[in-house]
Structure 1
Amino acid sequence: MTVRTVRIAMNGVTGRMGHRQHLVRSLLALREQGGLDLGDGTALVPEPVLVGRREHALESLAARYGLHEWSTDLDAVLADPTIEIYFDAQVTSARETALKKAIAAGKHLYTEKPTATGLDGALELARLATRAGIKHGVVQDKLFLPGLLKLKRLVEGGFFGRILSVRGEFGYWVFEGDWQEAQRPSWNYRAEDGGGIVVDMFPHWEYVLHNLFGRVTSVQAHATTHIPRRRDERGKPYEATADDAAYGIFELEGGALAQINSSWAVRVHRDELVEFQVDGTEGSAVAGLRRCRAQHRAATPKPVWNPDLPATERFREQWQEVPDNGDFDNGFKAQWELFLRHVALGTPYEWDLLAGARGVQLAQLGLRSSAEGRRLTVPELSL
């Protein structure tokens, strides 16, 4: 098999997500398996070039994984004609400027979301990339998780009949940093640094709802800061200026309603950190990151409300497990493979910067809805 190398500048891989999911479990995993088989006798082998601000962290990361190239000079890396793809996993506030530089350098783009701090910036990125004729994609990893792939199979198979509602619960308790270290970086809780759960999670909910159930046409949200004071990585107290919980209602094209609670101040009493319950006229399902259980209309029990007697039915046992029916790879890696095929072969790819702009739009409207206390229409975007 012929080996073809694709050099990828990876900015922000010293952070948790960029390191674990994109570098190690995606591109390095692809290298270890011999590259991506393009189906024409060619194996596409990614060659990461690490980029960031902290020289010591980059040098340590490169040494750990046997990589030979790293740099703190983004401009110099983008000027290298052998670099084909620029990937960004930086903090959101630094992303827009870096993406514009990559577009100007003619690099194909693959980026984490949100793509920008505001809708105008996100749309400008999509327009600039389209005019430049480069290929561009945005990480929408939850679509490739086993639980949601099984849920999509039920949707496409007509299992639900007419879908009535979607209810989502996401979150976990993020420690305040006083007697136990926080599991998330402190910038997540500072609005001035691009933090907040609406900015972080509403883009996820947009693409999940859009791709599985229909475009979001309206949003009504309430965002709040439940824990107003936390401690940072050095143990220093700081004021949490960003929202750490949001409660949203989304109307979908076709009439279904979605209600999703997002919180970093909730203790988990569910099987997975995120779960979606979908109810339809013919059946219902509950999907998490990996599992999906379903209950058909014909197998639905007939409970009767009687608060004077203890429940005798084991409701969870009345649902049927949806089988895997295949092998599921890491969701981030699966989307990387699709984007690399898109770059190498020109195969269709729908999760582009315009899709990323829809996520920014929903987050922006969600925050505005919360501030104004009213439901807002979500206009359809176009270039």
Structure 2
Amino acid sequence: MRDLDGPVALPPARPARVTALFAALGVLLVVLGLVSAGVGQLHVAPLEVLGSVLHRLGLDLGPLPSHPNGDAALWTIRFPRVVMAMTVGAALATAGAVMQGVFGNPLAEPGVVGVSAGAAVAACSTIVFGITLLGPWTIAVAAFVGGLLTTLLVYALARSQGRTEVVTLVLTGVAVNAVCGAGLAFLTFLGDTQAREQIVFWQLGSLNGTRWPYVAIVLPLVLVGIGVAVVLARRLDLLALGERAARHLGVDVERLRVVCIVAVALLTGAAVAFCGIIAFVGLVVPHLVRMVVGPGHRVLVPASALGGAVLLTGADLVARTAVPYADLPLGMLTALVGGPFFFWLLRRTRRTAGGWA
């Protein structure tokens, strides 16, 4: 019998391909960050953005140009939004990678356990009933707590005789999502015109209005969630062999599943708390990364985090610039890309599997 340090029957990722992927994503993320921070009604050239960053870090490396009025806009509005886009994208993609590992299915995504739907119900309840106990933080805190509680409820309902089967967990999540959808419809019916507009805007997702205090709350939670996912990567590889094989190799499958679901709830709840629901990032990114470097989670998890940061930073750049003087809903853009990709993925899965089981 092999222990946790033994070999795993998963195809190893090629080192050259892994290095190339991380290098490409890292460079792309830096470039997108510089371009995104400089684009807007006040244009700041990428070199001027870089110069501003280096100046703040005390690393003035030569006569880089500077914008006379750019610093205030960059550090008050642009950089918080760019950092939040990277953070939320990394959170959602990591949550998707973990969910797909737990369920053993590349079609799984964080919404399966109801975290997004629960967050939406809680946030929209504060909007409709005018709850302002925490001032401007009320909606975000309600969304975060609602997502966590809904996830725990799904797990509690799916658990029976000390065990939780994947199929039961999925079906319970579907049922809870349906109930939350009905709750959202009822809240929309109860709300006045202004409340309905807020509900719709929140459900479509946006990074508009992001400030450093919001980033300071979301970033540590996301880093903790990603850290947990990285630590669990080896056990997720063992779980890919099947529950029985994983148990023989010393994995406490039930405990692993609980910790993974809590980590997913933490990542997704933190992501949607200030930004609303942003769809398909957790589905698309891990699958694309898996196609490049294989299914090993020790590479898949950090690469998905980096890929999610790249995707959402690019999507937010499009959201801010596609229509002049308008800020498109970010969730709408990711759904426009993710919907066709999901359809293609379904057809590809059916074709490679030779039909549905």
TM surpasses 0.5: no
Q: Which has the higher contact order (CA 8 A, sep 6+)?
A: 2
Structure with a larger share of its residues in helix: 2
Q: Using structure 1 for the length normalisation, give the TM-score.
A: 0.27
Q: Using structure 2 for the length normalisation, give the TM-score.
A: 0.28
Structure with a larger share of its residues in strand: 1
